[in-house]
Amino acid sequence: MLLKNKNAVIYGAAGSIGGAVARAFARDGAKVFLAGRTLDTLNKVAREIINEGGAAEVAQVDALDSQVIEQHLDTIVQKAGSIDISFNAIWIQGILGTPLIQMPCEDFTLPILTGVKTNFLTATAAARHMILQKSGVILTLSSSSAGLSGRDHKYHLTGGFGTACAAIEALSRSLAGELGPQGIRVACLRSDAIPETWNTDADEVRTYMENGTVLGRLPTLVEVANAAVFMASDRASAMTGTIANLTCGSIMD
């Protein structure tokens, strides 16, 4: 088990990506602390983890409220003794499909401000605990929208979402530089779109996107979760400040 005896906090744990990563962390031995706004959906994920033999606790946490975040982490440290992994899986999609010249400024900036704020608050709060123990891993979540080709920028019209993802990646690098001397690693998972998370089939969009990848397909939730486990584990101990490319080759860098 790659994460045995690790304590992992997952924000947005009731979502598709957060839930998949929480389950994967638990299967690899971590005790997972599921944080989000809706207890019913968090409890569902926790029950699944516990039924599979894992350890999970839930808490209602507004990941845009610094005081609530810090109180939650203090409680975890009092119970478990450490915070070894922090993963922010809160999705900040915003409005897609509208040209920027037709978009109100508030609609453009909302995903940027939300995405940067929640990642800043959760990462820095976790880091303050990790500094005391001289170890820890902070994971953030981005998407291929941070580095689209010209063809894809023209097709997708991502509004403020692409800018938000680019900002989260820049924040991750800055944190990695500051926290590295304290023994703390920071990495960002950059996935392409995951069809399992879509509310509709969108066959035309899926075909377009799959044709733009080297592998001829889009990533799955399992693949993203497995990558998160590896990045959080000691097997990735030389990796920090990196953007993990999980795009199936829609971006190659």
Q: Return d(Cα 215, Cα 246) in angstroms, integer.
A: 11
Answer yes or no: is 87 within a domain.
yes
Residue 253, SS3? coil
Answer yes or no: is 60 within a domain.
yes
Residue 95: pLDDT band (50, 70, 90) is: confident
Q: Return d(Cα 140, Cα 171) in angstroms, integer.
A: 9
Work out the mean pLDDT of the chain and round it to a whole number.
Answer: 95
Complete DSSP assignment for 1-68:
-TTTT-EEEEETTTSHHHHHHHHHHHHTT-EEEEEES-HHHHHHHHHHHHHTT-EEEEEE--TT-HHH
pLDDT of res. 13: 98
Answer yes or no: is 229 within a domain.
yes
Question: What are 37-73's pLDDT values in tens digits?
Answer: 999 999 999 999 999 999 999 999 999 999 999 999 9
- Other residues' Cβ atoms within 10 Å of the Cβ of residue 18: 26
Number of domain units in the chain: 1
Answer yes or no: is 251 within a domain.
no
Answer yes or no: is 176 within a domain.
yes
Answer yes or no: is 129 within a domain.
yes
Question: What are 119-176's pLDDT values in tens digits?
Answer: 999 999 999 999 999 999 999 999 999 998 888 888 888 999 999 999 999 999 999 9
pTM: 0.96
Answer yes or no: is 31 within a domain.
yes
Residues spanned by the domain of 14 = 7-246
Put the strands of the sheet holding 242-246 in their side by side order: 55-60, 31-36, 7-11, 85-88, 136-143, 184-191, 242-246
What is the CATH classification number for the domain harbouring 152? Answer: 3.40.50.720
Residue 12: pLDDT band (50, 70, 90) is: very high
| Residues 36/62, Cβ–Cβ less than 8 Å | no
Token readout for 190 is: 């950059």
